[in-house]
């Protein structure tokens, strides 16, 4: 077993030296592809985080009827809290609402003397998902105890549209670039197989198993994937560290994700590089060995 592995490793290294230009092309293509895919993934991760943060700050404002008693208004809050997808409610009495209004717009506290408090009791509502805001607001608006429902539907729609566009663009680019890298690896392995087709034919005639023949080329493909992933990490890690530092003052409200995400990103890139290169190599080997198998 060890002798077979040693032979496969030696042949893989010899193949890469013999076809050094194609080896560099395959490795660099995988590195560039994984760098772009990793950058797109980090961008998608941050956009999703920003969207969740922004959406979590978006509330539904439910205003009770002015003739509703305080007990009935509190009962309305409990009824809203029991709705599906509602994660938080805050009851704002009309007195507190008036104080906030005066503090926000610097009105004279005695402005409403003689006419009473014109504001109703209000309930601030948050949902677990931005897509549920409109449905929850529409449901609550039909209740007799509710005077008015206000929510930032246009803002939510814009946030969700941005997240959807970034998600689709990132996934689409990742798929296309991965296919391009797999095609390069496939052609590289195919050229190596063609260059050694006579040697492979002799090995098959003397009884070499398909696994023995394929092992060096499979190791070669795995090396391309691993080397490409490591090069991509050498680009992404310092790049992301620099981006967090450079944008720290600009994105104060929506900071970039912590550096710990790079660990998950690195693991996924290595696994992705190995799988892409391994699959491309396996396809090349399967097609070649099937055609060249002696009859």
Per residue in 183-228, pLDDT (tens digit) is 777 777 777 667 667 776 777 777 777 777 777 778 888 888 888 8
In whole angstroms, give the CA distance from residue 215 to residue 219: 6
In whole angstroms, give the CA distance from residue 220 to residue 242: 34
Please list the residue range(s) of the chain that carry CATH number 3.30.70.3040: 59-151
Tokens at residue 293, please? 């198998």
pLDDT of amino acid 253: 58
- CA-nearest of 5, 2, 20 to 212 is 5
Whole-structure pTM value: 0.62
pLDDT of amino acid 234: 92
Report residues of the chain scoring pLDDT below 50: 295
Write down the architecture of domain 59-151 according to CATH: 2-Layer Sandwich (3.30)
């Amino acid at each position: 077993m060890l002798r077979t592995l040693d032979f496969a490793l030696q042949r893989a290294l010899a193949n890469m030296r013999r076809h050094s230009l194609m080896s560099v092309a395959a490795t660099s293509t995988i590195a560039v592809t994984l760098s772009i895919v990793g950058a797109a993934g980090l961008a998608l991760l941050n956009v999703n985080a920003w969207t969740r943060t922004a959406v979590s700050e978006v509330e539904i404002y439910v205003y009770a009827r002015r003739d509703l008693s305080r007990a009935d208004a509190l009962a309305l809050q409990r009824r809203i809290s029991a709705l599906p997808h509602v994660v938080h409610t805050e009851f704002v009495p009309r007195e507190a609402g008036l104080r906030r209004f005066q503090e926000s717009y610097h009105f004279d506290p005695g402005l409403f003397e003689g006419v009473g408090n014109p504001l109703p009791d209000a309930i601030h509502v948050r949902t677990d998902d931005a897509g549920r805001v409109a449905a929850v607001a529409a449901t609550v608006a039909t209740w007799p105890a509710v005077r008015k429902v206000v929510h930032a539907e246009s803002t939510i729609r814009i946030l969700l549209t941005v997240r959807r566009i970034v998600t689709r663009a990132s996934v689409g680019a990742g798929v296309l670039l991965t296919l391009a890298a797999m095609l390069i690896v496939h052609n590289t392995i195919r050229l190596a197989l063609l260059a050694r087709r006579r040697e492979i034919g002799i090995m098959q005639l003397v009884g070499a198993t398909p696994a023995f023949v394929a092992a060096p080329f499979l190791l070669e493909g795995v090396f391309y994937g691993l080397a490409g992933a490591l090069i991509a990490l050498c680009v992404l890690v310092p790049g992301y560290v620099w981006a967090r530092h450079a944008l720290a003052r600009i994105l104060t409200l929506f900071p970039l994700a912590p550096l710990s995400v790079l660990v998950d990103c690195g693991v996924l890139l290595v696994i992705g590089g190995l799988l892409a290169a391994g699959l491309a190599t396996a396809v090349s080997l399967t097609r070649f060995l099937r055609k060249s198998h002696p009859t």
